[in-house]
Amino acid sequence: MDADIIIVGAGFAGLTLAARSGELGLKSIVVEQGEGPDYPCNSRYSGGMLHMGMDDPAAKQDYLIALIERLTDGLPDRAFTEAFTAEAPKAIAWVRGHGAQFIRLGNHPGRQWVMAPPRRGQPGLDWKGRGPDAIVRRLTEATLKHGGEIRMKTCGVRLIMEDGKCVGVEVESNGKRSQLRGRAVALADGGFQANPELVKRFVSPQADKVMQRNARTGRGDGLLMAEAVGARLVGMEGFYGHPLARDAFTNDLLWPHPYLDSMTISGVVVAEDGRRFVDEGLGPIYLANTMAKRANPLDATVIFDEAIWTGPAADKISPPAPNPTIEMVGATIYKAGTVKELAAAAGLPVDALSDTVAQHNDALARGTLGSLAIPRSSDQYKPMLIVKPPFYAVPMCTGITYTMGGPLIDPNARVVHRDGHPIEGLFAIGSASGGLEGGPHVGYIGGLIKAFTLGRLAAHFIATAAGKPVN
């Protein structure tokens, strides 16, 4: 054996497993495809909001179990949700114990654990020296301190199986292949969002029209390796992401921030025919997923008025606010004194768009949003009237941050075989795993809490099996 655990990927999930298992007396080797101390990964690029279903991950366990069941329409089984919610607060305490600093941003329960220092609220990427980057460095130090090894520029390519048990990984470094063997292997490569073939297979008919709102490092290597040894795949179609200005494809100041959530949940979203195609009230992540699945993922435009632009769109709750940022950095925005003029300016059918806006206003005023041709829910997000000139139209694209699906795991993060039994020696953690997030309403539970919690659950199971006491 080269080490007790071989881990593919050095994001939060892989580093948590490596550092925690090191504390418990196990040696791990982490292989990371990136180069140098600033290698890109989603963990580093993240907004640093450690939440559970946009709520407080340290809330009462019963509350969190019910929340996960509601958001995912019961996707994970009860045993998994119980293990996950019991471990999450311990994971937060552990990350803090490694020097992670958190701040609260306002009273929103999902913003009580924001990694410090937070993003500066500027458009585009802002990760260097921010909270998530600092924690990647801390967990790297903790891994090395406890005897773990991190091999850079090394890619996991194939699982080594013997008698149905996973005993190692074939890796590639500088064009050379070699084997690393251990008592356990953990896939922690961060998802498959940056692999166009896999995105096309599971998420969108036109992967090239889905904007990569991520570090472009998750290419689904772990997924393909697990699938090749018989893993059951689950929740493959869902992803966490946001609607962005369409110009994000050519303007780096328009991704990952600002996103257009506030306008889409307050106004209406129409296709090229000037008609609505989605229940905007189901939220921006649901919208982003619906856009990706359309024959043309680039046909959506958000329509709103001055009250929305100076109200929700100017709210700095997740800075930078779209107003004034998108205008400042040069996104395409159509503005006009009437809805008809707006339609003409934006190249949308004049009668259809006027009709759509009139129907929205009428249904909202009468309280009949549920009777629209595409019903609009309003329990979670409050729609607004579109009546105050000027009126605005912003062409959008959908930004994919990370995929929610992957190999199904059990409450100890062990990969489950298509036959239903856990594959001995094989684990999937963080965004490489499936089964916690998704469902018909694309329940988003949180990429960060998933990475830390599953990394620890795997460490505890492997240590216990190796006869090490877990404190």
Ligand X SMILES: Cc1cc2nc3c(=O)[nH]c(=O)nc-3n(C[C@H](O)[C@H](O)[C@H](O)COP(=O)(O)OP(=O)(O)OC[C@H]3O[C@@H](n4cnc5c(N)ncnc54)[C@H](O)[C@@H]3O)c2cc1C
Residues lying near ligand X in the complex (CB under 6 A) are found at 8-14, 31-34, 39, 41-43, 45-49, 155-156, 188-190, 213-215, 217-219, 221, 256, 401-402, 430-432, 446-449, 451
- Least distance in angstroms from the C-beta of 46 to ligand X: 3
Q: Determine contact, residues 213/398, Cβ cutoff 8 Å.
A: no
- Least distance in angstroms from the C-beta of 409 to ligand X: 13
Residue number with CB closer to ligand X (156 or 322) = 156
Q: CA nearest 281: which of 291, 292, 293, 267? A: 267
Residue number with CB closer to ligand X (377 or 412) = 412
Buried-state track 4-20, b at ≥16 Cβ within 10 A, e below 16: bbbbbbbbbbbbbbbbb
Structure tokens at 354: 């006027």
- Least distance in angstroms from the C-beta of 188 to ligand X: 5
Residue number with CB closer to ligand X (43 or 325) = 43
- Least distance in angstroms from the C-beta of 333 to ligand X: 23
DSSP per position, 350-409: HHHHHHHHHHHHHHHHHT-GGGSSS----SSS------SSSEEEEEEEEEEEEE--EEBB
Distance separating alpha carbons of residues 345 and 173, to the nearest angstrom: 53
- Least distance in angstroms from the C-beta of 299 to ligand X: 24
Residue number with CB closer to ligand X (31 or 396) = 31
Residue number with CB closer to ligand X (289 or 361) = 289
Structure tokens at 399: 């930004």
Q: CA nearest 231: which of 79, 409, 22? A: 409
Residue number with CB closer to ligand X (376 or 456) = 456
Q: CA nearest 288: which of 349, 221, 214, 346? A: 214
Residue number with CB closer to ligand X (167 or 342) = 167
Distance separating alpha carbons of residues 313 and 174, to the nearest angstrom: 48
Residue number with CB closer to ligand X (155 or 248) = 155
Residue number with CB closer to ligand X (17 or 396) = 17
Kindly report the number of other CB atoms within 10 A of residue 211's CB atom. 27
Kindly report the number of other CB atoms within 10 A of residue 186's CB atom. 38
- Least distance in angstroms from the C-beta of 77 to ligand X: 21
Distance separating alpha carbons of residues 341 and 348, to the nearest angstrom: 10
Distance separating alpha carbons of residues 61 and 273, to the nearest angstrom: 46
- Least distance in angstroms from the C-beta of 362 to ligand X: 37
- Least distance in angstroms from the C-beta of 16 to ligand X: 8
- Least distance in angstroms from the C-beta of 37 to ligand X: 12
Burial class (CB in 10 A: 0-12, 13-18, 19+), 371: exposed
Kindly report the number of other CB atoms within 10 A of residue 220's CB atom. 24
Q: CA nearest 44: which of 127, 100, 101? A: 127
For helices 339-346 and 350-366, give the axis angle rounded to 10 degrees. 140
Q: What is the 3-state secondary structure (H, E, C) of 249-315?
A: HCCHHHCCCCCCHHHHHHCEEECCCCCECCCHHHCHHHHHHHHHCCCCCCCCEEEEEHHHHHCHHHC
Give Dmax over CA atoms of the chain in angstroms.
72
- Least distance in angstroms from the C-beta of 136 to ligand X: 8
Residue number with CB closer to ligand X (155 or 353) = 155
- Least distance in angstroms from the C-beta of 163 to ligand X: 25
Residue number with CB closer to ligand X (189 or 410) = 189
Q: Residue 168 phi/psi, 5° resolution? A: 170, -175
